[in-house]
Amino acid sequence: MGVDVASFGNAFPDPEDSIALAQTDAFEGLYKKLFFSKDGTKLLGGILVGDASDYPKLLSLSKSALPLSVKPRELVYGSTGGGEEEEMADSFQVCQCNNVSKGDVVAAIEAKGGDISLGELKTCSKAGTGCGGCVQLVEQILTSEKKKAGVSTKKVVCAHLPFTRQELVHIVRTERHTGYESVLAKHGGAPGSCEICKPAVASILASYQNDMILDGPLLALQDSNDRFLANIQRGGSYSVVPRVPGGEITPAQLIRLGEVAQRWNLYAKITGGQRVDLFGAHRADLPDIWSELLEVGFESGHAYGKALRTVKSCVGSTWCRFGMQDSVDFAIKVENRYKGIRAPHKVKSAVSGCVRECAEAQSKDFGFIATETGYTVFVGGNGGITPVHAQILETDCSEERAIQLIDRFFMFYIRTADRLQRTAPWLQELPGGLEYLKEVIVEDKLGICDSLEKEMQFLVDTYKDEWREVVESPERRAQFADFVNAPDAKEDGIEFVAVRGQKRPADWPKAKCPPTGIPAALDSGLDLTTNARWVRVGAAADFPGDAGLTVLYGKSQLAVFNLASRGEWFATQNMCPHKRAFVLSRSLVGEAGADMRPYAACPLHKKHFDLASGACTTDAEEEGILTFPVDITDGGDVMLLLPPEEILDALLATEKHQITSCSKREFAAASLDARFTEGETKPDEKPLAGAV
């Protein structure tokens, strides 16, 4: 049997400075131990075994600077009044990052009569928009308040597709949809689209159609990581993670990794999944980097996707004197079978050669531990914020039987899990839990095992390495250029600093980034329309539909969006002011409100910027962005109405806003304001329509 385990805060405080309260239930297998300050006003930390449902609330309490609003015993043994609401007062601080209390969250919900989505609640209350650690607690409060208001708590994907993910899977499978637009046309709810429903449908299509995700209209559905087949990092660079099945790697492959890291000056790090991660790659360099990696047998590691990540292994019986089975060989078979398969969330696995469990198979979504007669198959484990111990599905399995069970398990998970739900919470929420899962995929109670196996085999048979598909296609390679109008140009979006013989991006400011100075310059009288002219930035055919690309104008980066489904084009600055990251062209685009106003969702922190006005619609205190008129000529040229280069560079040049190292950090705002307030002549006309 698996068991929930969690710890938070200081779980081992000095006994002289703390008092511990504990509760044990041997019959239910429950244990809770919490540590408090000696005056009982502060929760220091704790350990939860058997039931971790209180983890989000307790974690938030331990981080809060406010004194506890309840007695310590109530957190351990429960309130004598018998209600969670008594345990969590309105003053309880839900979100530490943005100082949001439970009362603030409840007020935001009540203002909408309970009819509010989690995304809308995060936008208007700011809870959950920082580190994200309190999102689960915010969702719990939302569910509770919705029930009070008599509002449905059904977990729909979003207002545009008001179905659960399971219902959407059924719609796509049975109606044989091949694209997002057809699903939206037949089953759409509220008008518009968003950065939630697009990737959700894209994932389902990939799980059943398995077409190349960068082709045709599928490209515009992908989040930034999937769109560029790499994880976006601070400052807008990307990481490169080749697949290393089972952790087995040849000397030639190790040498090539070192050569690639040296040639492109990449930061190298061994990951927890027994492979090597190379950080700091320019988007434009990714195809060339992968071309060299493919030559020695590497494939995409899908670290960017909600898909199988790794299958860890120990050396097993081939080398270890304790090994019961060849765990490396089996891990390679498992990883090569399930590589590239898209799922509701990331999936991790491991194979241990004996009960010593060196590969940690019991902390994975599915895992295998070798015995004298085969393998014990585990499912439903994970690490992360709330670690969960995997549970035994079947013992003494042959390799063939183990793979058959995981084929069924994997596809049943894909069919029935919620969006972004790992296998551990999915199994916990599955009615009947592990026993029901066994009835379905072991005993075939529903008669679906054959279809599950066939669906899995289809995905295995149609697998193609996504990076090889890009490298061998000039058209796909072109999509990775940093600038569509200057394909050979490259710019770092953040300064890199030396560390232990390698490089890393400079630190972001701990506090909010200071103002860019752009609004101040415009307010002081700078007019971007004086001497403005139409500038060609590319051919319309170069811009994918319903997505954005970056253009370079002087020293300034601009984002151009081709909203083909609306027949409209938009252009903005490429810098997101939140962290001064030059990434907005890589945003997913959506439409909000009854008037379906188009917006871009920044790929780093999902801040929404109205593409027409430039306003940040998810945070009224966030600085907006500049927008520019776009025109498409009869000949298919994309034209932007722009001021002279030197004027725009004074506002937007990358070098003026790029985050630099702590020793050099002199934000551009001061010099920018000085230029236009200390005697320099400025054009005497009003700002461009739609500008900040």
Neighbours of 109 (CB within 10 A): 25
| Radius of gyration for the chain, computed over Cα atoms and rounded to the nearest angstrom | 27
pLDDT of residue 478: 93
**Residue 597, Cα to own-chain centre: how many angstroms?**
24
Whether 683 has a pLDDT exceeding 80, the answer reads no
CATH architecture classification, 229-462: 2-Layer Sandwich (3.30)
Whether 670 has a pLDDT exceeding 60, the answer reads no
More reliable by pLDDT, 64 or 506 = 506
Whether 450 has a pLDDT exceeding 70, the answer reads yes
More reliable by pLDDT, 93 or 613 = 613
Q: How confident is the model at residue 7 (pLDDT cuts 50, 70, 90)?
A: confident
Whether 64 has a pLDDT exceeding 80, the answer reads no
SS3 110: helix
User: Which segments of 336-379 are extended strands (E)?
Assistant: 347-352, 366-371, 374-379
Whether 662 has a pLDDT exceeding 60, the answer reads no
User: What average pLDDT does the structure give for the chain?
Assistant: 90
In contact, 363 and 344? CB cutoff 8 Å: no
Q: How confident is the model at residue 487 (pLDDT cuts 50, 70, 90)?
A: very high
Whether 66 has a pLDDT exceeding 80, the answer reads no
pLDDT of residue 119: 76
Residue spans in the chain of domains classed CATH 3.30.413.10: 229-462
Q: Which of 105-109, 340-344, 346-350 has the lowest mean pLDDT?
A: 105-109
pLDDT of residue 143: 85
Distances (CA, A) of 439 to 413, 422, 443: 14, 21, 5
Q: Which of 296-305, 393-402, 619-628 has the lowest mean pLDDT?
A: 619-628
Q: How confident is the model at residue 84 (pLDDT cuts 50, 70, 90)?
A: very low
What percent of the chain is modeled with pLDDT above 70? 94
The token duo for 456 is 């899995």
Q: For the segment 543-587, what is each residue's pLDDT rounded down to a tens digit?
A: 999 999 999 999 999 999 999 999 999 999 999 999 999 999 999
* Model confidence, pTM: 0.82
Distance from C-alpha of 274 to C-alpha of 504, rounded to nearest angstrom: 21
User: Average pLDDT in the 256-264 region?
Assistant: 98
Whether 684 has a pLDDT exceeding 80, the answer reads no
More reliable by pLDDT, 526 or 446 = 446
User: Average pLDDT in the 508-533 region?
Assistant: 87
What percent of the chain is modeled with pLDDT above 90? 70
pLDDT of residue 400: 98
Residue spans in the chain of domains classed CATH 2.102.10.10: 496-672
How big, in percent rounded to 5, are the helix, strand and coil portions of the chain? Answer: 35, 20, 45
Residue indicated by tokens 């398969």: 341
Domain 93-149 has CATH 1.10.287: no
Q: How confident is the model at residue 513 (pLDDT cuts 50, 70, 90)?
A: confident
Q: How confident is the model at residue 139 (pLDDT cuts 50, 70, 90)?
A: confident
pLDDT of residue 3: 65
**Domain 496-672 falls in which CATH fold?**
Rieske Iron-sulfur Protein (2.102.10)
Whether 240 has a pLDDT exceeding 50, the answer reads yes
Whether 55 has a pLDDT exceeding 90, the answer reads no
pLDDT of residue 397: 98
pLDDT of residue 79: 57
Residue indicated by tokens 């030559």: 295
Q: For the segment 87-113, what is each residue's pLDDT rounded down to a tens digit?
A: 567 877 888 778 888 899 999 999 888
Q: Which of 107-116, 204-213, 344-353, 371-380 has the lowest mean pLDDT?
A: 107-116
Beta bridge partners of 589: 600
Picking from 366, 331, 337, the residue whose alpha carbon sits closest to that of residue 458 is 337
Residue spans in the chain of domains classed CATH 1.10.10: 93-149
- What is the spatial order of strands in the sheet that 5-9 belongs to? 5-9, 43-49, 30-37, 18-25
